[in-house]
Structure 1
Amino acid sequence: MPAWTRAYVRFVEAMNYRVGRFAMYLLYVMMAILLWSSVTKIMHVPALWTLEMAQFTLVAYFMLGAPYSLQLDTNVRMDLIYARFTTKGQALWDVFTVFCLMFYLGVMLWGAFDATAYSFAVNERNPTAWRPPLWPIKSVITFAFALMLLQASAHLIRDIATIRGEKI
């Protein structure tokens, strides 16, 4: 494999590793928000923002953790047949399925970008008592789909290297 493909894979995986490790700590942020919600309800002054903020944090946790999950190969797969393949057979199957994944992620990225642009343009807000703007979470979703697409392409390059008998 050319040196630039190796550098690309290392760069994408390093970036997704850092983002994924950051996303892991969003679970603690969400727990703190929900704890604050409980405390304010006990004190009979419930905060309006806690439920939505916990939901936004969970979305960020899930979406930003997805490329990291793909990188670590901890995503769900049917091992009934896949586990019986040789390493090259698994890489061939992964090449086929990663194209399906990349098509799906491309469509989702397009939709997410469109929704984010609309959210910016009209200053879209959630129709609740708190009324937070929606562009920040939609931007996170768009960014996460872009990271996932980059990770899928890095995965494709790794699989092609495996088929060729090379190591990245």
Structure 2
Amino acid sequence: MSGQTVAVAARHGGDPFIRAVHAVSTLCGWVAAGLLVASLLITCQMIFVRAVLGQSTIWQTETVIFLVIAAVCLGLPYVQLVRGHVNVDLLPLMLKGRNRMIWAVLLKLVTIAVIALMAWYSFDVLHQAWSRNWKSPSVWAPRIWPVWAAVTVGFTLMLLQLLADFLALLRGIDQPFSLETR
């Protein structure tokens, strides 16, 4: 393998759809970061209430769990945008030209199908949680549809980011596997 290859963040190439999806994915990254900071602050408050004040906590643990789930799911499109997912680049690095492109298209289509299924089924669970008024079995007993809403929105926006990446790949705006030779 000649040359050094580096994965780069997704490009929009001036395409308004791709640029809009990138903006939404970036916003999701900021929201996810904010949710993680909020969960950290609530965890600190919970520790203070338990350790210093000697009181019990009711809502903090579940709130932190819900916030982290929302942060992870809403952060999916941003991580896809910046190519932050774990990759095994051995085969893409070995393939050249047309074969690399075919492999990239195939993997992108499979990924789109899997994420579309995740979005669809998370919407189904969201609908059930909403219509059946599901609540957590804890003492606090919050409704759980907001968590499923975050899961559904996260996977749906991840799907949108993948579609934008696929469009950029097909139009030649982005390279297969976002690999550039230096």
TM-score normalized by structure 1?
A: 0.88
- Give a deviation string over 1:97-131, Cα, whole Å, max 9, x none: 11111111111111111111111111100111111
**1:162, distance to aligned residue in structure 2 (A):** 2.1
Aligned length: 161
Structure 1 residue runs of 4+, over 6 Å off? none
Which amino acid in 2 is paired with 1:109? Answer: A
Give the 3-state SS of the residue equivalent to 2:70 in structure 1: helix
**1:85, distance to aligned residue in structure 2 (A):** 3.5
Aligned 8 A contact 1:67 1:144 in 2 = yes
Matched, 1:153 2:158: no
> Which of 113, 138, 145 does residue 128 from structure 1 map onto?
138
> Which of 17, 24, 46 does residue 56 from structure 2 map onto?
46
Matched, 1:100 2:110: yes
**1:134, distance to aligned residue in structure 2 (A):** 0.4
**What is aligned with 2:43?**
34
- Give a deviation string over 1:54-82, Cα, whole Å, max 9, x none: 11111111111111111111211111222
Taking a change above 3 Å as real, the CA distance of residues 48 and 80 of structure 1, as seen in their structure-2 partners, is: same
CA distance in 2, matches of 1:164, 1:74: 16
CA distance in 2, matches of 1:37, 1:91: 51
Aligned 8 A contact 2:116 2:159 in 1 = yes
Taking a change above 3 Å as real, the CA distance of residues 88 and 40 of structure 1, as seen in their structure-2 partners, is: farther
Which amino acid in 2 is paired with 1:34? Answer: T
Give the 3-state SS of the residue equivalent to 2:87 in structure 1: coil
**What is aligned with 1:75?**
85
Structure with greater proportional helix content: 1
CA distance in 2, matches of 1:79, 1:161: 22
CA distance in 2, matches of 1:77, 1:35: 34
Aligned 8 A contact 1:17 1:68 in 2 = yes
CA distance in 2, matches of 1:11, 1:65: 16
Aligned 8 A contact 2:168 2:174 in 1 = no
Give the 3-state SS of the residue equivalent to 1:83 in structure 2: helix
Structure with more relative contact order (C-alpha pairs < 8 Å, separation 6 or more): 2
**What is aligned with 2:6?**
none
